[in-house]
A and B are shown apart, each in its own frame.
Chain A
Amino acid sequence: MRTPHAVLIATLAAGAHLLVAQEGALTLPKTVEAGKAFSIQSTGSGKATLYIVSLGQVLKRDMQLGESISFPAGSIYSAGHYVTVLARESSPTESGSLDVVPAAQPADLTFLARPSRLPVGLHSGITGAAYVFDAYHNLINTPASVSFELSSPAGATQKRTVETKNGAAWIEMDSTAQQGMDKFVARVGDVSSMRIVGQVPGDPCTLKMSAHPSGQQVQLQTEPVRDCSGNPVPDGTIVTFTETYEGAQSTVDVPLKRGIAEVKMPARPGARISVASGVVLGNEIRWEK
């Protein structure tokens, strides 16, 4: 036999917020924190089946009306909107709903960082985005502070903290002045995720060559080629030597080896010899010997 009014719901869990009692055999919590224990007390008598249905989790329980039904910790873990149905043998079904909210404690972090390799000294060249999840892979949509830290092997560190919005936070950072493998870390609470960002020298900053006689030829050699932060430009970078003589031009492309480019060209009195790499133009020599 069914009692005339709904009775109080019994909640075991601190995370469950009560819905105002309404007429029916069940009073449901309005919200439940993912993973927390809770229980529902029913009224009436007879057998019934309880369905708790969402797009992330489905439960079906046989129950005896008039008794409480307990959901131990970990029973409902997928955050979302749940439809509840109480199907009774001798009465119409009763429908309701409850919301399962993510646990408050971050337990996982998805960290997207780009690029994996870039030149030094680039303003806002590195970006990171982070999504914060609880232990059940629910996106935590209440604001959380995510700290982003970019540190170079030399010890230079950039650190900034960003509040999540709808579970997401993002950052832009400058690449550091020194080449090397930097650590890019996103951290929320005790959870962190690291990416490695390779910082390579930029384009040559200045180019200077010297010339020396070498038999019938002239020996041309650059000084060690560096970027504007003083990092040696990688070997293999092409340096172009151009000799102009009586209106004719001859060009030689030479890769850097151990930071230096060198080549021999015909020694012609009055020839003009220039050096360049990419968009950087070096000094010019007039060969008089």
Chain B
Amino acid sequence: MVRPLLILCAVVAASSGVGTAQADVRVEPVHLQGPRVLQEQTQAAIIRDYLQGWQTMGAAFDQNRVDLLDRDFVGTARDKMAEAVQQQSAAGIHTRYQDKSHHLQIVFYSPEGLSIQLIDNVEYSVQVLDRDKVETTQQVRARYVVVLTPTEVRWRVRVFQAQPE
């Protein structure tokens, strides 16, 4: 039976360590491909860690600090973001990302438990600043494909990729 959608603003509130506006979060019922069962506790941890990743990412791109990415990102996602931050820094620009809403669905939990994939239909704003002059502010709706992997104490984002809606 399909369970009702969960509103998990509380998760965001718990995850947000900085004084930013909270995003609305909707989580679709889990319809996994694969034989592995996803425990509720694991699901909550994944969503919490992923949403914290948005906060971390926002700070890293605003402050042009690659080191901030390390807590929540790993592998390809971390490398690509680090490169973008370095390119921003070299170009004298920085960007402010602020997530407004997330519509999440966990779609794949690999059988050995080493990766989990979710789809996030996200709305966010992005502001591009060239030496603190705001060049544009855009509202974006995008569909992100995200793969997280477990590390010592938390799930970290390994693939983070927007695709055309």
Q: A-side interface residues toward B, CB under 8 Å?
A: 30-31, 49, 51, 53-60, 78-81, 83, 85, 87, 93, 95, 97, 99, 101-102, 112-115, 124, 127-129, 131, 133, 137-139, 141, 165-168, 170, 172
Contacts and interface: CB of A to CB of B under 8 A. Distances in A.
Contact of B164 (A51, A57, A101, A165): A101
A54 B163 CA distance: 12
Closest 3 CB pairs of A and B: A127-B111, A114-B112, A129-B110
A55 B80 contact: yes
A54 B111 contact: no
A31 B164 CA distance: 8
A56 B130 contact: no
Contacts of A30: 164
A81 B97 contact: no
A139 B111 contact: no
A97 B138 contact: yes
A97 B140 CA distance: 9
A168 B108 contact: yes
8 contacts: A55-B81, A87-B135, A99-B163, A141-B161, A141-B163, A166-B107, A167-B145, A170-B110
Contact of B145 (A56, A59, A139): A139
Q: How large is the interface on B (under 10, 10 to 19, 20 to 34, 35 or more residues)?
A: 35 or more
A168 B130 CA distance: 38
A55 B61 contact: yes
Q: Could you tell me the dominant secondary structure of chain A's interface residues?
A: strand
A114 B159 CA distance: 21
B81 A170 contact: no
B111 A114 contact: yes
Interface string B145-156: 101000000000
Contact of A137 (B33, B34, B76, B119): B76
B95 A53 contact: yes
A141 B138 contact: no
A27 to B, nearest CB: 17
Given A137-B80, A165-B33, A80 B128 contact: no
Contact of A112 (B35, B114, B140): B114
